Amino acid sequence: MLNIVLFGPPGAGKGTQSAKLVEKYNLVHLSTGDIFRANIKGATELGMLAKSYMDKGQLVPDEVTIKMLQSEADKHPLSKGYIFDGFPRTHTQALALDHFLATKNTGITMMLALEVDEEELRSRLTERAKISGRPDDADPKIIQKRIEVYQEETMPVKEYYASQHKYKGVHGVGSVEDIFIALCNEISKEQ
Ligand code: ADP
């Protein structure tokens, strides 16, 4: 299996690149942000809970997020692999993911990271707010909070994979196609 953690701060382009990677490598795309937003739209209990955190730029609690991710992954038992987009975002989530994949006799192949500087991120998120309709993109204070949460809680996840020599960083500024080619180059080294 090819199991990729696609990593990067809010606005790094994970969603855009995931769509291309999924198509090329025939993988299942699991975006925790997308799943939460679908639940909010469907007004489920999980959606209401997630919304109360997302609207403030905070992380949804680990226990809820991990359970949801596992049940989504289990919907695709015959998959050739997964792209985890927006997950794991905490050290606890990373440990849970390893444990979960081990029960399926597989593991994370690599973490691919989109590296984008903060100023570029802020401007991308402000632009995205005009079309996405996402409340968490519309308010600069919430954007700031998400960047802080990323630095404090999510950056340690990079070290987790780096210590296993699984971290591969790619410069995330440039054309969508050039960044995609850079990601594919990293994948081809592992295959
Ligand atoms: P972005 O990367 O642009 O912040 P996402 O769609 O990945 O957007 O996430 C939006 C929000 O959903 C996050 O700010 C957080 O509140 C929640 N969320 C997404 N993934 C996770 C996760 N793995 N753990 C906890 N909360 C999450």
Chain position carrying tokens 């692999």: 81
Please report the atom of ligand 1 found closest to the CA of residue 69.
23
- Domain residues for the domain of 28 are 4-190
The first and second tokens of residue 101, run together, are 């994949």
How many A from CA of 85 to the centre of ligand 1? Answer: 9
Bridge partners (DSSP) of residue 115 are 171
5, 17, 36, 157, best to mutate for ligand 1 pocket (most atoms within 8 Å of CB): 36
DSSP string of 83-113, one letter each residue:
EEES---SHHHHHHHHHHHHTTT----EEEE
Q: What's the confidence (pLDDT) of residue 191?
A: 84
pLDDT of the residue at 31: 97
pTM: 0.94
Residue 78: its pLDDT value, please? 81
Domain count of the fold of the chain: 1
**146, 149, 153, best to mutate for ligand 1 pocket (most atoms within 8 Å of CB):** 146
Cα–Cα distances (Å) from 108 to 65, 97, 125, 127, 173, in that order, read 18, 9, 29, 33, 25
Query: Per-block average pLDDT, block size 10, for the chain (191 residues)?
Result: 95 95 97 96 96 97 97 92 97 98 96 95 91 90 93 96 97 97 97 84
Contacts of 60 (CB under 8 A, 6+ apart): 32, 36, 49, 50, 53, 54
CATH of the domain at 39: 3.40.50.300
